[in-house]
Amino acid sequence: MRAYIVIDLGFGDCGKGLLTDFLARKRGAGLVVRYNGGAQAGHNVVTPGGRQHTFSQFGSGTFVPGVKTFLSRYMVFHPTALLVEGDALATKGVPDAFQRLRVSQDALVITPFHQAANRLREIGRADGRHGSCGVGVGEAVEDARAHPAGSLRAGDLLDPPRLRRKLEAVRQRERAQLLATFGSRLHEGAFAHEWQVFERADVTENWIAAVGRIAALGLVAPDDVLRTWLRHSETAVFEGAQGVLLDAEAGFHPYTTWSDCTARNAMAILKEMAPGYSAFQIGVMRCYVMRHGPGPLPTETGELAPLVTEHNRTNPWQGAVRYAWFDALLARYALSLAGKLDSLLITHLDVLPRLTAWKFCNRYHEGFDFEEGTVERAPSGEVTDLYPRRGPVLEARERFSRALAAVQPALEECRADETTVIRKIEELTGCTVGMLSRGPSAADIQLLPALLK
């Protein structure tokens, strides 16, 4: 039995949905387990027949008949968004999507109050926004850490009195914190629309009525269901969310996600529930760098945007989609966080024919104020490698992010043909590339000889 673990080595949007769909189609995976992140995911899949969906909570193998999805206890679950997504899938030829999905009873639940609080805090940051998706994932996690006994879990959706009690407690907690932070500003301008979620008397009852469908569909399940599904699946895909450069502990604070973006959660599930599985870890990386929203992006360029075909778009919460030349320091940093990989997939190679040259960075110019132990320097003083700035002192992690945002990349270039670029990526990262993707569908993925045996 084999478990493929899909890990994004960038700032997200590298092609996890594409790879998951490929593994369901070409490797016979019958189960997709979401092992981190939450409802802010946007995993784009285009089928060979041209159907398209950006998967948020359903596994990205759902277009393949019979493939199941389990949202693990490490997921942050948005019930009403899940219902909207399932209904959308039905219009795209997947009428049984709900029948093939289960949610761990221990998964954290995002309420309308978490989502509104998330948006209000982002509005309050003005020009210093963190690039949140505005879904409420971080608020749900932070609330659960501060009030573990009062945190709302998927299992609570099956008990209306307990659900109502916990939901009202969430409303009161978030309301008090927001009033203490923003005061009368909450009734003004951009704040007022989101603040009405806390002021309207019907929000709680309307939401409870809406999520009653979750119970009626039988979507919430104990983890024993996942254990059984794993036992009866020869091949499973553990589909990651976001990317390791956004990791809660090792990403560039405060532009991070509230989730462990490495394979740790997936490995914990396998160790506990399916110790007989062999884990095959695949890292996914674009042949350039992309991030959606603010934060350090040392090799950022305006040259790539006109050449990239992208399903992502600028939106009011995350902000702009940004592009950058291949950054070997960020790539090696991501690989060090991901740990041992069995293969590397390079995606979006279809951009290469549109380039006159492929540019990359293997060092940053000297003179930037990185703290001791966070970088490797050449004798010239140039930065040649980055090391994670972990720890509880967020100010130190923010200083690291500011230093990274201030660097000037030393760009080099080579021919933009595929063979040259792949060899250069292997040279820069020290990893063998086992898979290539030249487009948005499973048919566009090619296995290289090392993986064909």
- What span, in angstroms and rounded, lies between the C-alpha atoms of 299 and 165? 49
- Say if CB 211 and CB 79 are below 8 A apart: yes
Which of 409, 407, 412, 344 lies closest to 374 in space, CA to CA?
Answer: 407
Instruction: Kindly state the DSSP code that residue 370 receives in the 8-state scheme.
Output: P
- What span, in angstroms and rounded, lies between the C-alpha atoms of 125 and 94? 40
Count how many residues are written for the chain: 453
Instruction: State the CB neighbour count (10 A cutoff) for residue 106.
Output: 17
> Which residues are identified as catalytic?
13, 43
- Say if CB 371 and CB 416 are below 8 A apart: no
Which of 46, 56, 53, 43 lies closest to 12 in space, CA to CA?
Answer: 43
Within 158-274, strands assigned E span: 220-221, 235-239
Show Cβ contacts of residue 89 under 8 Å, excluding neighbours closer than 6 positions.
Answer: 53, 58, 62, 97
- Say if CB 143 and CB 114 are below 8 A apart: yes
Task: State the sign of the Cα–Cα–Cα–Cα dihedral 295, 298, 299, 301.
Answer: positive
Instruction: State the CB neighbour count (10 A cutoff) for residue 196.
Output: 13
76: exposed, middle or buried (Cβ count in 10 Å: 0-12, 13-18, 19+) = buried
In the chain, how long is the greatest CA-to-CA distance? 66
Calculated CA dihedral for residues 145, 150, 152, 154, nearest 10 degrees: 100
Which of 85, 87, 82 lies closest to 71 in space, CA to CA?
Answer: 82
3-state secondary structure of 364: strand
| Helix 112-125 vs helix 137-146: crossing angle, to nearest 10 | 110
Q: How many Å separate Cα 137 from the centre of its chain?
A: 11
| Helix or strand (DSSP H, E) at 192 | helix 189-199
Identity of residue 264: R
Cα 99 to Cα 43, 79, 136, 238, distances in angstroms: 21, 15, 26, 19
